[in-house]
Structure 1
């Protein structure tokens, strides 16, 4: 497994997450709270925009893994344009990421890719397109000034934002499109939920998904070199004993916390433990011939 590399830093931005839909195709279920990989869909999206300066969720308040600002369109259920208008009122950054709350495969790298494209394109917004080449305006980064301009124009023309479709808003924007069939995948039906749950358990995804879920559950916001930890666990298991692997990684975490935490503390504690495991294995290998010689019967003629 390759080591986890944190995504490059980006300039400040705000995020608006729309989470107040009726979820009719899910039978009215609480879609933002549906769990995929042990985490609520809303929490998965919030993790993807965790480095936003401010995150506004347009919905009724609920417990979330990360602190957010809550907003609501008036009247509630007024549609995505009205919800976006309500959320945007709580933002101040010039760049705004706009997301729906049902994106199980959205990651931090995709958010940063959208923002990077926005800052180099000169467009009003950058959005993803899905597997069928359809625009996904709720997986996008926009210039807030352009959104406010078009929101005001739409409201003036229609007497308000309630009930307006998103395509009415985006029609007036200059947009750049980025194809991404995975990150744009949204969960509208129970079949979509089942597909998402199955995919994250595939071999190539399950470990990263599990680590992300554990960090959210424990309230840990820490990027570490998972490859280094896996190598350490392997060395401890092979060079000492299989139960040494989980116990050693636990002790590394404890030592790193005592040293102040952070990726550097984890890496240093891992280095020390890995070196010890190698020395242990070398000693064991060197002792084995001696042990075999001691155990062998003495067959010399004058023995005894």
Structure 2
């Protein structure tokens, strides 16, 4: 199902002393950039908030009226820029949000007005949700009739009349509202089970490449090169394998083929080492 996305990246962040919350970094990447990455399959991603030039190539921009007018006003500004029948609405401070959660919200919408994430604490997360665009626009018209406009209104006034499915989202709905939350997120990113994937994602983001490869193949290559030749051979060999894959047109298969070639070469070196050792 095609969809658009709205990322709310404004607000005063009072619990962070007025810091630029969406611009704070976890794992070397701004929180808002991590959220935008999770929506990479969207037709249009609209970021509502102050302009951030580093995201220009990936998003459209909007600003609530008045600036700082609250989440409903920000959502109204974003809705003016989308065209899809389904829109994913996200806050710009979700360090662990992934594309899988975004897709699950869309899939769960079904015949309802939307689907909302439920956090690990059991609370509804209206800014980790997918909605029928028409339902949100109808709700905004109702609020405008009742209150004269969306500025300053709490989001629950918009969502309370909607038929919403709910899905447990766990850490995907974790947001950084305080400095303590930020510290927890930064520590969790560096846990042994996730740190390598997080680092590779950050590197690919910085280099502007989208490539899914079998990480274990490259780790095996680095191990074999270090063992059969010398420890410095590991990073140099993986670099050359990557360069060869790019020369061959890129893609996961090209990387795997270059890695297999280098692994075979390392095996021949290792065999020679054994032969020379036996001869001595």
Which TM class, normalised by the smaller chain length?
over 0.9
Deviation at 1:181, TM superposition (A): 2.2
One of 144, 147, 157 as aligned partner of 2:146:
157
TM-score (norm 1): 0.88
Moved more, 19-28 or 149-158: 149-158
Report Cα offsets for 1:52-79 as digits up to 9, x if no partner: 1111000121123552100011111111
Listed as ranges, the gaps of 5+ residues in structure 1 are: 1-10, 293-304
SS at match of 1:106: coil
The aligned counterpart of 2:257 is 268
Match of 1:298 in 2: none
Match of 2:232 among 223, 243, 266: 243
* Two-structure CA RMSD over aligned residues (Å): 1.3
Shift in Å, 1:286: 3.1
What secondary structure, in the 3-state scheme, does the structure 1 residue paired with 2:173 have? coil
Aligned to 2:123: 134
Q: Which residue is equivalent to 1:111?
A: 102
Residue of structure 2 equivalent to 1:16 = 6
Shift of 1:263: 1.9
Give the TM-score normalised by structure 2: 0.95
| Cα distance in structure 2, aligned partners of 1:286 and 1:173 | 74
- Please identify the structure whose Cα radius of gyration is greater: 1
Q: Distance in 1 between matches of 2:180 and 2:252?
A: 38
Q: Which residue number in structure 2 is paired with residue 180 of structure 1?
A: 169
In the alignment, structure 2 segments of 5+ residues that lack a partner are none
List per-residue Cα deviations over 1:172-221 (Å, max 9, x = no partner).
Answer: 11111111220110000101111111111111111111111111111122
Instruction: Give 1:124 shift.
Output: 1.1
Question: For residues 26-73 of structure 1, what are the alpha-carbon distances to aligned partners after superposition, in whole Å with 9 as ceiling and x for unaligned?
Answer: 000011111111111111111111121111000121123552100011
Separation in 2, partners of 1:177, 1:148: 21
Alignment of 1:82-121 (within 5 A): 82-118=73-109, 121=110
Find the partner of 1:278 among 262, 267, 271: 267
1:271–1:12 CA distance, 2 compared to 1 (3 A): farther
Whether 1:40 and 2:16 are equivalent positions in the alignment is no
User: Could you say what secondary structure the match of 2:171 adopts?
Assistant: coil
Q: Distance in 1 between matches of 2:147 and 2:71?
A: 15
- The alignment partner of 2:177 has SS state of coil
CA–CA distance in structure 2, aligned partners of residues 275 and 128 of structure 1: 48
For 1:227 and 1:97, locate their aligned partners in 2 and report how far apart those are by CA, in whole Å.
33
1:53 and 2:43 aligned:
yes
In structure 2, C-alpha distance between the alignment counterparts of 1:26 and 1:253, rounded to whole Å: 42
The number of residues matched between the two structures is: 279
CA distance in 2, matches of 1:39, 1:57: 16
Q: Who is 2:132 aligned against?
A: 143
**1:116 Cα deviation from its structure 2 partner:** 2.0
Encode CA deviations 1:85-117: one digit per residue, 9 max, x unaligned: 110111111121111000011111211222222
Task: Supply the distance in 1 between the matched residues of 2:132 and 2:253 (Cα, whole angstroms).
Answer: 36
